[in-house]
Structure 1
Amino acid sequence: MTVPAPSCRLYVLLATAAPVALIMRRGPAGWWHLMKWDLLRCEVTPGAWFRGALYPRRCAASPDGTLLGYFALGHGQPPWDTYFAVSKTPWLTALTAWHTNGTWAGGCEFAPDNSLTISASMDKQPFHGNYPYRVTVQRLDLDWVRRDLRNEFKRGWRPLSQEVAKQLPLELRQAVLIERIRPGDDRALVLAHTGTDFQRHGIEGVQVSYLREDDDGILTPLSEAVWADWDSKGRLLMATRGGVVMINDRRSGSWTQIWSQNLCDLTPAPAPSPHWAQAW
């Protein structure tokens, strides 16, 4: 029996210093949609629709979640064919943009003062707009697995301990394994990077599996998760293969889903960005 392709794919950029995240949603084919996820109010606010290609694993949100650094492959004439830009979330109006030499881009990172480091083969001077903080363009990092996991390392994920790795299923032990300790205790989320396959479900073709370490130390597979992380309160945030974002919390000794929103069946509705997103 043929399994139907998912109607959307999700990836999340979690701000490191504010209770906010940016959801990057792909689907239908050729379309991307950005949404702001307010983790305090449990609200999702729609933003830009974009027809082209975005590379979420090479993008970054500023620490407070207000800015987005992104790589895009568009349908415009050079230099708007492949470029790196900075916008105000959840919009894609470029306040500044640099031309890149194709999609040879490793990723980017905002410092606490919003200075920006970009790892890519690209021009060092923007062709559009300006950036009011310091910008460093550095040599392209050719460690593709580390590039795929760049956002996790920025949020505090680290190589998995050998003690926990021994509990993994045999087929995962040869993967690239990292863990994220839950705030407030020593339990972990485990991420297994099992390779790249552009014929299968996965953002930029990256294949990942997630497991949650419970109080008894047993690892529980999160089979539907395509992205997961703890928030600052120790709640479990997830995006699923079925196009759902959710928040789970510990209630009476067990994990309980306290909020969810289905983002599966959305129709492209591109609109101009609001005025506040069009200028510094």
Structure 2
Amino acid sequence: MTTSAPPCRLYVLVATAAPVALIMRRGPSSWWHLLEWDLRLPEVRPGAWFRGTLYPRRCDISPDGKLLGYFAFGDGQPPWDAYFAVSKAPWLTALAAWRTYGTWTGGCEFAADNSLTISASMEKQPFHGSHPYDAVVQGLTTDWTYRDLQNEYKRGWSPLEGAADRMPPELREAVLIGRIQPGGDRALVLAHTGTDFQQHGIEGVQVSYLREEDDGTLTPLPEAAWADWDSEGRLLMATRDGEVKIIERQSGAWTQTWSQDLRDLIPDPAPSPAWAQTW
């Protein structure tokens, strides 16, 4: 009897000022793969492979989608065993790197001018390279739920009040946040139910998504491992089965207009291109 490999796990960082996103894909096992998602064409272009651990919910891409701030934990020699770095997406060649004290990291955020705020237990000066923009290292947050959802908050999600009575019974005690569809009036709802490293979820974070319909009811999206609106009001989704999709409202119905299957990719690490190796 043969058993199929577990599905890859997907998380997406969407640029706030450009039609581009970064897909962070885990699988098989300790391998990670970065892919650039061009939302205008649309198409997916492969980037770096990495063997170790990345922390997607603590990463960020610059508003124009060109820079990536990331935390990594691997088997390299110190100080390359646990570090924060800035690279050119979708590659991981560190243009600047700071040593972190293990995995006590909170997150990072790029401003519009590419200045960077890093929340972590880490050295304040880079041990490798340099960052030509301002970079401020601050202390850790103790609000772990905020840390799990910080990338959503950056993109305009906000806490939902009074929505519990519209939720399925199993989600009524969850932390609820939502975001209104750009150019529309429907909400996408995220229910955060905690952390369980034995279940499917990036960094063990357990989330469920629901889409608001015209009559105000909420439709569960059980296939969604990650979801958000893009600037055009389209629903972007990464599924638990390892696909990325674009879903649009057409003729009164939600219609999948594009998808890419990322399930069966085989690790194929390669050097980053010359443009990604320097500022």
TM-based fold match above 0.5: yes
8 Å CA contact 2:58, 2:147 repeated in 1: yes
Partner of 2:276: 277
Q: Give a deviation string over 1:200-253, Cα, whole Å, max 9, x none.
A: 110000010000001111100000000000000100000000000000001001
8 Å CA contact 1:86, 1:96 repeated in 2: yes
Question: Per the alignment, in what secondary structure is the counterpart of residue 200 of structure 1?
Answer: coil
Question: Per the alignment, in what secondary structure is the counterpart of residue 152 of structure 2?
Answer: helix
Question: Per the alignment, in what secondary structure is the counterpart of residue 149 of structure 1?
Answer: helix
8 Å CA contact 2:14, 2:20 repeated in 1: yes
Partner of 2:88: 88
Partner of 1:158: 158
In structure 2, distance between residues paired with 1:185 and 1:214: 11
Q: CA deviation at 1:145?
A: 0.7
Q: CA deviation at 1:5?
A: 5.9
8 Å CA contact 1:12, 1:24 repeated in 2: yes
In structure 2, distance between residues paired with 1:59 and 1:22: 11
Partner of 2:139: 139
Show structure 1 runs of 4+ deviating over 3 A. none
TM-score (norm 1): 0.97
Partner of 1:253: 252
Instruction: State how many pairs are aligned.
Output: 277
8 Å CA contact 1:24, 1:32 repeated in 2: yes
In structure 2, distance between residues paired with 1:219 and 1:250: 16
Q: CA deviation at 1:185?
A: 2.2
In structure 1, distance between residues paired with 2:68 and 2:216: 37
8 Å CA contact 2:7, 2:240 repeated in 1: no
Is the counterpart of residue 70 in structure 1 residue 70 in structure 2?
yes
Partner of 2:98: 98
8 Å CA contact 1:236, 1:248 repeated in 2: yes
Partner of 2:18: 18
8 Å CA contact 1:6, 1:241 repeated in 2: no
8 Å CA contact 1:46, 1:90 repeated in 2: yes
Matches within 5 A, 1:111-150: 111-150=111-150
Partner of 1:37: 37
Matches within 5 A, 1:183-262: 183-262=182-261
Q: Give a deviation string over 1:71-98, Cα, whole Å, max 9, x none.
A: 0001111100000000000000000000
Moved more, 185-194 or 84-93: 185-194
Q: Which amino acid aligns with 1:91?
A: W
In structure 1, distance between residues paired with 2:109 and 2:196: 26
TM-score (norm 2): 0.98
Q: Give a deviation string over 1:149-190, Cα, whole Å, max 9, x none.
A: 01000000000131x332101211111110011112221000
Q: Which amino acid aligns with 1:127?
A: F
Question: Per the alignment, in what secondary structure is the counterpart of residue 166 of structure 2?
Answer: coil
8 Å CA contact 1:239, 1:246 repeated in 2: yes
Question: Per the alignment, in what secondary structure is the counterpart of residue 186 of structure 1?
Answer: coil
Question: Per the alignment, in what secondary structure is the counterpart of residue 106 of structure 1?
Answer: strand
Q: Which amino acid aligns with 1:206?
A: V
8 Å CA contact 1:68, 1:87 repeated in 2: yes
Q: CA deviation at 1:4?
A: 5.8
Q: Which amino acid aligns with 1:12?
A: V
Listed as ranges, the gaps of 5+ residues in structure 1 are none
8 Å CA contact 1:197, 1:206 repeated in 2: yes
Q: Which amino acid aligns with 1:238?
A: M
Give percent identity, aligned residues only: 75
In structure 1, distance between residues paired with 2:41 and 2:255: 18
In structure 2, distance between residues paired with 1:34 and 1:145: 25
In structure 2, distance between residues paired with 1:42 and 1:265: 20
In structure 1, distance between residues paired with 2:215 and 2:5: 36
In structure 2, distance between residues paired with 1:114 and 1:50: 24
Question: Per the alignment, in what secondary structure is the counterpart of residue 90 of structure 1?
Answer: coil
Aligned-CA RMSD value: 1.0
Question: Per the alignment, in what secondary structure is the counterpart of residue 145 of structure 2?
Answer: helix
In structure 2, distance between residues paired with 1:65 and 1:144: 26
